[in-house]
Amino acid sequence: MPFRPSRRQFLSGATTAATAGFLGSFSAAALSSIFGITRAAELPAPGQQTGAATGPLYPPADLSYFDKPIDTRPGAIRFGYASITWGGNDRQAIEDVSALGFPGIQLRANAVADFGAKPGELKDLLAQHHLKFVALSSGNLSIDNPEADEMALHTKNAAFLKSAGGSYLQVICSLPKGRTPVAADYKECGRRLTELGKRIIDLGVQLGMHNHMNSLTERPEETDWVMDACDPHFAKLELDVAHCLQGGGDPVKAIDKYSDRLLFLHIKDVEQLRAPGVAGDGPAYRWVELGRGRVDLPGVFDALKRVKYSGWAIVELDAVPDKSRTPKECAQISKTYLEEKLGYKI
Protein backbone atom coordinates (compact mmCIF):
# COMPACT_ATOMS: atom_id res chain seq x y z
CA MET A 1 0.00 0.00 0.00
CA PRO A 2 1.49 3.39 -0.92
CA PHE A 3 2.47 5.70 1.93
CA ARG A 4 -0.04 8.55 2.46
CA PRO A 5 1.18 11.16 4.94
CA SER A 6 -1.27 12.78 7.32
CA ARG A 7 -1.86 16.51 7.03
CA ARG A 8 0.05 16.99 10.30
CA GLN A 9 3.06 15.06 8.91
CA PHE A 10 2.87 16.90 5.63
CA LEU A 11 2.70 20.35 7.22
CA SER A 12 5.42 19.51 9.74
CA GLY A 13 7.77 18.29 7.03
CA ALA A 14 6.99 21.21 4.77
CA THR A 15 7.53 23.71 7.58
CA THR A 16 10.83 22.11 8.60
CA ALA A 17 12.11 22.07 5.03
CA ALA A 18 11.03 25.64 4.40
CA THR A 19 12.60 26.86 7.64
CA ALA A 20 15.86 25.07 6.96
CA GLY A 21 16.02 26.49 3.47
CA PHE A 22 15.25 29.97 4.73
CA LEU A 23 17.82 29.96 7.56
CA GLY A 24 20.42 28.31 5.34
CA SER A 25 20.48 31.42 3.20
CA PHE A 26 21.91 33.48 6.10
CA SER A 27 25.50 33.57 7.31
CA ALA A 28 26.45 32.75 10.92
CA ALA A 29 27.05 36.44 11.56
CA ALA A 30 23.63 37.34 10.24
CA LEU A 31 21.98 34.69 12.38
CA SER A 32 23.83 36.01 15.40
CA SER A 33 22.61 39.50 14.62
CA ILE A 34 19.03 38.40 14.15
CA PHE A 35 18.67 35.84 16.95
CA GLY A 36 21.63 36.57 19.25
CA ILE A 37 22.78 32.95 18.88
CA THR A 38 26.43 32.10 18.26
CA ARG A 39 26.65 28.42 19.24
CA ALA A 40 24.30 25.49 19.11
CA ALA A 41 24.92 25.02 22.84
CA GLU A 42 23.15 28.30 23.47
CA LEU A 43 19.88 26.96 22.06
CA PRO A 44 17.31 26.24 24.79
CA ALA A 45 16.54 22.60 25.46
CA PRO A 46 13.12 21.34 24.35
CA GLY A 47 10.51 22.59 26.81
CA GLN A 48 13.00 24.88 28.60
CA GLN A 49 11.65 28.33 29.41
CA THR A 50 13.64 31.35 28.29
CA GLY A 51 13.41 34.91 29.60
CA ALA A 52 10.72 35.98 32.01
CA ALA A 53 7.78 34.43 30.11
CA THR A 54 5.92 31.57 31.81
CA GLY A 55 3.60 29.06 30.22
CA PRO A 56 3.07 28.39 26.50
CA LEU A 57 3.20 31.30 24.11
CA TYR A 58 -0.10 30.25 22.44
CA PRO A 59 -3.13 28.40 23.87
CA PRO A 60 -3.51 24.70 22.97
CA ALA A 61 -4.98 24.08 19.50
CA ASP A 62 -7.09 21.16 18.25
CA LEU A 63 -4.98 19.62 15.51
CA SER A 64 -7.11 16.50 15.00
CA TYR A 65 -8.16 17.71 11.53
CA PHE A 66 -4.55 17.45 10.40
CA ASP A 67 -4.36 13.78 11.38
CA LYS A 68 -6.66 12.89 8.44
CA PRO A 69 -4.76 11.41 5.47
CA ILE A 70 -4.16 13.77 2.56
CA ASP A 71 -6.47 12.88 -0.34
CA THR A 72 -4.18 12.30 -3.33
CA ARG A 73 -6.92 11.10 -5.66
CA PRO A 74 -7.93 13.05 -8.79
CA GLY A 75 -10.22 16.02 -8.13
CA ALA A 76 -13.68 15.18 -6.84
CA ILE A 77 -16.88 15.40 -8.85
CA ARG A 78 -18.47 18.83 -8.51
CA PHE A 79 -22.25 18.93 -8.44
CA GLY A 80 -24.43 21.58 -10.01
CA TYR A 81 -28.14 21.86 -10.65
CA ALA A 82 -30.05 22.81 -13.80
CA SER A 83 -32.50 25.71 -13.80
CA ILE A 84 -34.90 24.05 -16.26
CA THR A 85 -37.20 22.87 -13.43
CA TRP A 86 -38.09 26.49 -12.62
CA GLY A 87 -39.55 27.05 -16.11
CA GLY A 88 -37.59 30.19 -16.97
CA ASN A 89 -37.64 31.85 -13.55
CA ASP A 90 -33.87 31.92 -13.33
CA ARG A 91 -33.66 34.37 -10.43
CA GLN A 92 -35.68 32.01 -8.25
CA ALA A 93 -33.65 29.06 -9.51
CA ILE A 94 -30.42 30.81 -8.55
CA GLU A 95 -31.82 31.59 -5.10
CA ASP A 96 -32.98 28.00 -4.48
CA VAL A 97 -29.98 26.19 -5.95
CA SER A 98 -27.66 28.33 -3.85
CA ALA A 99 -29.74 27.79 -0.69
CA LEU A 100 -29.47 24.02 -1.17
CA GLY A 101 -25.70 24.26 -1.26
CA PHE A 102 -25.02 23.29 -4.87
CA PRO A 103 -21.85 25.09 -6.03
CA GLY A 104 -22.81 25.30 -9.72
CA ILE A 105 -25.76 25.92 -12.01
CA GLN A 106 -26.74 25.38 -15.63
CA LEU A 107 -28.98 27.97 -17.28
CA ARG A 108 -30.98 27.89 -20.51
CA ALA A 109 -31.04 30.16 -23.53
CA ASN A 110 -33.82 32.28 -22.01
CA ALA A 111 -31.08 33.75 -19.79
CA VAL A 112 -29.62 35.37 -22.92
CA ALA A 113 -32.89 37.20 -23.47
CA ASP A 114 -33.24 38.10 -19.79
CA PHE A 115 -29.66 39.26 -19.18
CA GLY A 116 -28.29 39.60 -22.73
CA ALA A 117 -27.66 43.32 -22.57
CA LYS A 118 -26.11 43.02 -19.10
CA PRO A 119 -24.19 39.73 -18.74
CA GLY A 120 -22.21 41.37 -15.94
CA GLU A 121 -25.43 41.63 -13.93
CA LEU A 122 -25.88 37.85 -14.17
CA LYS A 123 -22.23 37.29 -13.30
CA ASP A 124 -22.58 39.46 -10.19
CA LEU A 125 -25.83 37.75 -9.20
CA LEU A 126 -24.20 34.32 -9.40
CA ALA A 127 -21.18 35.53 -7.45
CA GLN A 128 -23.45 36.87 -4.70
CA HIS A 129 -24.97 33.40 -4.42
CA HIS A 130 -21.58 31.63 -4.63
CA LEU A 131 -22.57 29.79 -7.81
CA LYS A 132 -20.38 28.82 -10.74
CA PHE A 133 -22.01 29.30 -14.15
CA VAL A 134 -21.17 25.83 -15.44
CA ALA A 135 -23.06 25.64 -18.71
CA LEU A 136 -25.58 27.32 -20.97
CA SER A 137 -28.14 25.27 -22.89
CA SER A 138 -27.92 26.98 -26.27
CA GLY A 139 -30.76 25.05 -27.93
CA ASN A 140 -30.74 23.03 -31.13
CA LEU A 141 -28.03 22.82 -33.76
CA SER A 142 -29.99 22.29 -36.97
CA ILE A 143 -28.67 20.77 -40.18
CA ASP A 144 -31.67 22.20 -42.06
CA ASN A 145 -30.99 25.87 -41.37
CA PRO A 146 -28.26 27.83 -43.18
CA GLU A 147 -24.94 27.11 -41.51
CA ALA A 148 -24.10 30.80 -41.18
CA ASP A 149 -27.29 31.39 -39.18
CA GLU A 150 -26.58 28.46 -36.86
CA MET A 151 -23.00 29.55 -36.24
CA ALA A 152 -24.04 33.15 -35.56
CA LEU A 153 -26.74 32.13 -33.04
CA HIS A 154 -24.61 29.79 -30.97
CA THR A 155 -21.48 31.94 -31.16
CA LYS A 156 -23.51 34.86 -29.82
CA ASN A 157 -24.73 32.66 -26.97
CA ALA A 158 -21.16 31.53 -26.27
CA ALA A 159 -20.01 35.16 -26.07
CA PHE A 160 -22.79 35.88 -23.56
CA LEU A 161 -21.82 32.79 -21.57
CA LYS A 162 -18.20 33.87 -21.39
CA SER A 163 -19.09 37.44 -20.37
CA ALA A 164 -21.27 36.08 -17.58
CA GLY A 165 -18.44 33.87 -16.28
CA GLY A 166 -19.56 30.54 -17.77
CA SER A 167 -17.56 27.65 -19.19
CA TYR A 168 -19.51 25.21 -21.38
CA LEU A 169 -21.98 25.60 -24.25
CA GLN A 170 -24.46 22.76 -24.75
CA VAL A 171 -26.28 22.03 -28.01
CA ILE A 172 -28.71 19.32 -29.15
CA CYS A 173 -28.56 17.97 -32.71
CA SER A 174 -32.10 18.35 -34.02
CA LEU A 175 -33.75 15.87 -36.38
CA PRO A 176 -34.13 16.81 -40.04
CA LYS A 177 -37.58 18.17 -40.78
CA GLY A 178 -40.15 15.89 -42.35
CA ARG A 179 -37.93 12.91 -43.17
CA THR A 180 -35.97 10.02 -41.73
CA PRO A 181 -32.29 10.75 -41.05
CA VAL A 182 -29.70 9.32 -43.40
CA ALA A 183 -25.96 8.69 -42.94
CA ALA A 184 -25.04 12.05 -44.45
CA ASP A 185 -27.06 13.84 -41.74
CA TYR A 186 -24.91 12.46 -38.93
CA LYS A 187 -21.75 13.43 -40.81
CA GLU A 188 -23.05 16.92 -41.46
CA CYS A 189 -24.02 17.35 -37.82
CA GLY A 190 -20.54 16.26 -36.76
CA ARG A 191 -18.97 18.70 -39.20
CA ARG A 192 -21.10 21.58 -37.89
CA LEU A 193 -20.26 20.68 -34.31
CA THR A 194 -16.56 20.86 -35.19
CA GLU A 195 -16.98 24.22 -36.90
CA LEU A 196 -18.93 25.66 -33.98
CA GLY A 197 -16.38 24.30 -31.51
CA LYS A 198 -13.56 25.99 -33.43
CA ARG A 199 -15.36 29.32 -33.32
CA ILE A 200 -16.20 29.37 -29.64
CA ILE A 201 -12.93 27.94 -28.35
CA ASP A 202 -11.37 31.28 -29.27
CA LEU A 203 -13.74 32.77 -26.68
CA GLY A 204 -12.52 30.34 -24.03
CA VAL A 205 -15.72 28.27 -24.21
CA GLN A 206 -15.91 24.51 -24.80
CA LEU A 207 -18.69 22.77 -26.73
CA GLY A 208 -20.66 19.75 -25.57
CA MET A 209 -23.16 17.74 -27.62
CA HIS A 210 -26.14 16.64 -25.51
CA ASN A 211 -27.53 13.19 -26.38
CA HIS A 212 -31.30 13.60 -26.22
CA MET A 213 -34.60 11.86 -26.90
CA ASN A 214 -36.34 12.94 -30.13
CA SER A 215 -33.06 14.23 -31.54
CA LEU A 216 -30.47 13.06 -34.06
CA THR A 217 -28.62 11.32 -31.20
CA GLU A 218 -31.49 9.55 -29.42
CA ARG A 219 -30.09 6.04 -29.82
CA PRO A 220 -26.58 5.09 -28.66
CA GLU A 221 -25.42 4.20 -32.18
CA GLU A 222 -26.61 7.61 -33.39
CA THR A 223 -24.52 9.28 -30.70
CA ASP A 224 -21.58 7.21 -31.92
CA TRP A 225 -22.10 8.27 -35.54
CA VAL A 226 -22.18 11.97 -34.69
CA MET A 227 -19.26 11.78 -32.29
CA ASP A 228 -17.23 9.83 -34.86
CA ALA A 229 -17.90 12.60 -37.39
CA CYS A 230 -16.66 15.50 -35.27
CA ASP A 231 -13.18 16.52 -34.16
CA PRO A 232 -12.67 15.54 -30.50
CA HIS A 233 -10.49 18.61 -29.95
CA PHE A 234 -13.42 20.94 -30.60
CA ALA A 235 -16.58 18.99 -29.75
CA LYS A 236 -17.07 16.76 -26.75
CA LEU A 237 -19.93 14.78 -25.24
CA GLU A 238 -22.27 16.14 -22.59
CA LEU A 239 -23.64 12.77 -21.50
CA ASP A 240 -27.15 12.63 -20.09
CA VAL A 241 -27.44 9.29 -18.30
CA ALA A 242 -31.26 9.15 -18.31
CA HIS A 243 -31.66 10.13 -21.97
CA CYS A 244 -29.02 7.50 -22.75
CA LEU A 245 -31.00 4.80 -20.96
CA GLN A 246 -34.36 5.87 -22.35
CA GLY A 247 -32.89 5.87 -25.86
CA GLY A 248 -31.89 2.23 -25.52
CA GLY A 249 -28.33 2.70 -24.29
CA ASP A 250 -26.34 1.82 -21.19
CA PRO A 251 -24.94 4.92 -19.45
CA VAL A 252 -22.27 2.86 -17.66
CA LYS A 253 -20.93 1.59 -20.98
CA ALA A 254 -21.17 5.10 -22.44
CA ILE A 255 -19.01 6.47 -19.62
CA ASP A 256 -16.39 3.80 -20.26
CA LYS A 257 -16.49 4.38 -24.02
CA TYR A 258 -16.32 8.18 -23.94
CA SER A 259 -14.25 8.67 -20.78
CA ASP A 260 -11.75 10.82 -22.68
CA ARG A 261 -14.45 12.96 -24.30
CA LEU A 262 -16.79 13.71 -21.40
CA LEU A 263 -17.16 17.46 -21.05
CA PHE A 264 -19.72 17.28 -18.26
CA LEU A 265 -22.75 15.16 -17.37
CA HIS A 266 -26.44 15.40 -16.71
CA ILE A 267 -27.32 13.24 -13.71
CA LYS A 268 -30.96 12.41 -14.14
CA ASP A 269 -33.54 9.67 -13.55
CA VAL A 270 -36.46 8.37 -15.59
CA GLU A 271 -39.61 6.45 -14.73
CA GLN A 272 -41.28 4.11 -17.24
CA LEU A 273 -45.04 4.74 -17.28
CA ARG A 274 -45.88 1.89 -19.63
CA ALA A 275 -43.96 -0.83 -21.42
CA PRO A 276 -42.05 0.22 -24.55
CA GLY A 277 -44.11 -0.19 -27.70
CA VAL A 278 -47.42 -0.40 -25.84
CA ALA A 279 -49.96 2.14 -27.06
CA GLY A 280 -51.71 4.40 -24.61
CA ASP A 281 -52.70 7.92 -23.72
CA GLY A 282 -50.07 10.29 -22.42
CA PRO A 283 -46.31 9.91 -22.33
CA ALA A 284 -44.63 6.53 -21.98
CA TYR A 285 -42.08 7.86 -19.48
CA ARG A 286 -41.32 10.86 -17.32
CA TRP A 287 -38.27 12.39 -15.68
CA VAL A 288 -38.18 12.04 -11.89
CA GLU A 289 -35.97 12.92 -8.94
CA LEU A 290 -32.80 10.89 -8.42
CA GLY A 291 -33.43 7.43 -7.00
CA ARG A 292 -37.08 7.31 -8.09
CA GLY A 293 -36.55 5.90 -11.56
CA ARG A 294 -34.72 3.08 -13.28
CA VAL A 295 -31.27 4.58 -13.97
CA ASP A 296 -28.52 2.58 -12.26
CA LEU A 297 -27.09 5.63 -10.51
CA PRO A 298 -24.75 3.64 -8.21
CA GLY A 299 -23.36 1.97 -11.33
CA VAL A 300 -23.00 5.35 -13.04
CA PHE A 301 -20.93 6.76 -10.19
CA ASP A 302 -18.87 3.59 -9.90
CA ALA A 303 -18.04 4.02 -13.60
CA LEU A 304 -17.09 7.66 -13.07
CA LYS A 305 -14.72 6.59 -10.29
CA ARG A 306 -13.29 3.84 -12.47
CA VAL A 307 -12.42 6.22 -15.30
CA LYS A 308 -11.21 8.83 -12.78
CA TYR A 309 -13.69 11.43 -14.00
CA SER A 310 -13.06 14.82 -12.47
CA GLY A 311 -15.53 17.49 -13.53
CA TRP A 312 -19.06 18.78 -13.28
CA ALA A 313 -22.14 16.62 -12.83
CA ILE A 314 -25.33 18.66 -13.29
CA VAL A 315 -28.43 17.25 -11.65
CA GLU A 316 -31.38 17.88 -13.96
CA LEU A 317 -35.15 17.52 -13.76
CA ASP A 318 -37.13 18.91 -16.70
CA ALA A 319 -40.32 19.55 -14.74
CA VAL A 320 -41.84 18.82 -11.35
CA PRO A 321 -43.35 15.30 -11.67
CA ASP A 322 -45.63 15.69 -8.64
CA LYS A 323 -47.33 19.08 -8.78
CA SER A 324 -47.73 19.11 -5.00
CA ARG A 325 -43.97 19.76 -4.77
CA THR A 326 -41.93 22.83 -5.65
CA PRO A 327 -38.79 22.76 -7.82
CA LYS A 328 -36.71 23.36 -4.69
CA GLU A 329 -38.33 20.42 -2.90
CA CYS A 330 -37.58 18.20 -5.90
CA ALA A 331 -33.96 19.34 -5.85
CA GLN A 332 -33.77 18.54 -2.14
CA ILE A 333 -34.94 14.97 -2.84
CA SER A 334 -32.13 14.49 -5.36
CA LYS A 335 -29.57 16.07 -3.03
CA THR A 336 -30.64 13.76 -0.20
CA TYR A 337 -30.25 10.76 -2.49
CA LEU A 338 -26.72 11.78 -3.51
CA GLU A 339 -25.69 12.35 0.09
CA GLU A 340 -27.48 9.54 1.96
CA LYS A 341 -27.52 6.77 -0.66
CA LEU A 342 -24.33 7.44 -2.61
CA GLY A 343 -22.24 9.11 0.08
CA TYR A 344 -21.45 12.37 -1.72
CA LYS A 345 -21.33 15.71 0.03
CA ILE A 346 -22.91 18.60 -1.83
By three-state DSSP, how is residue 169 classified? Answer: strand
Least confident window among 23-27, 221-225, 298-302: 23-27
Same domain, 62 and 101: no
pLDDT digits (tens, 9 = 90+) for 128-180: 999 999 999 999 999 999 999 999 999 999 999 999 999 999 999 999 999 99
Dist CA 282 CA 288 (whole Å): 16
Say which CATH number the domain at 168 has.
Answer: 3.20.20.150
Residue 94 domain-assigned (yes or no): yes
The DSSP annotation for 80-134 comes to: EEEGGGGTT-HHHHHHHHHHTT-SEEEEETHHHHHHTT-HHHHHHHHHHTT-EEE
* Together in a domain, 28 and 163: no
Closest CA to 157 of 173, 171, 144: 171
15 with 109, same domain: the answer is: no
Note whether 28 and 94 are same-domain residues. Answer: no
Q: How far is CA 225 from CA 29, 188, 221, 248, 321, in A?
A: 74, 11, 6, 15, 33
User: Looking at the domain assignment, is residue 132 inside a domain?
Assistant: yes
Q: How confident is the model at residue 282 (pLDDT cuts 50, 70, 90)?
A: confident
- The answer on 133 and 98 residing in a single domain is yes
pTM reported for the whole predicted model: 0.78
Tell me whether residue 48 is in a domain. Answer: no
Task: Identify the pLDDT of residue 59.
Answer: 54
Residues 302 and 169 both lie in one domain:
yes
Confidence of residue 67 (pLDDT cuts 50, 70, 90): very low
- Quick one: 38 and 128 in the same domain? no
Q: What are phi and psi of 205, to 5 degrees?
A: -120, 135
Count of domains in the chain? 2
Residue 243 lies in a domain: yes
The parent domain of residue 261 ranges over: 78-341
pLDDT of residue 33: 45
Residue 346 forms part of a structural domain? no
Residue 245: band (very low, low, confident or very high) from pLDDT cuts 50, 70, 90: very high
pLDDT of res. 267? 98
Q: Is the pLDDT of residue 27 over 60?
A: no
pLDDT for 275 equals 81
Is residue 105 located within the same domain as residue 185?
A: yes
pLDDT attached to residue 279: 80
Same domain flag for 114 and 24: no
> Cβ of 64: how many Cβ atoms within 10 Å?
8
- Considering the domain architecture, whether residues 61 and 184 belong to the same structural domain is answered as no
pLDDT of residue 310: 95
Q: Is residue 143 part of a domain?
A: yes
Residue 2 belongs to a domain: no
Q: Within 13 Å, how many C-alpha atoms sit on residue 43's CB side?
A: 6
Mean pLDDT of 77-91: 98
Q: What is the pLDDT of residue 95?
A: 98
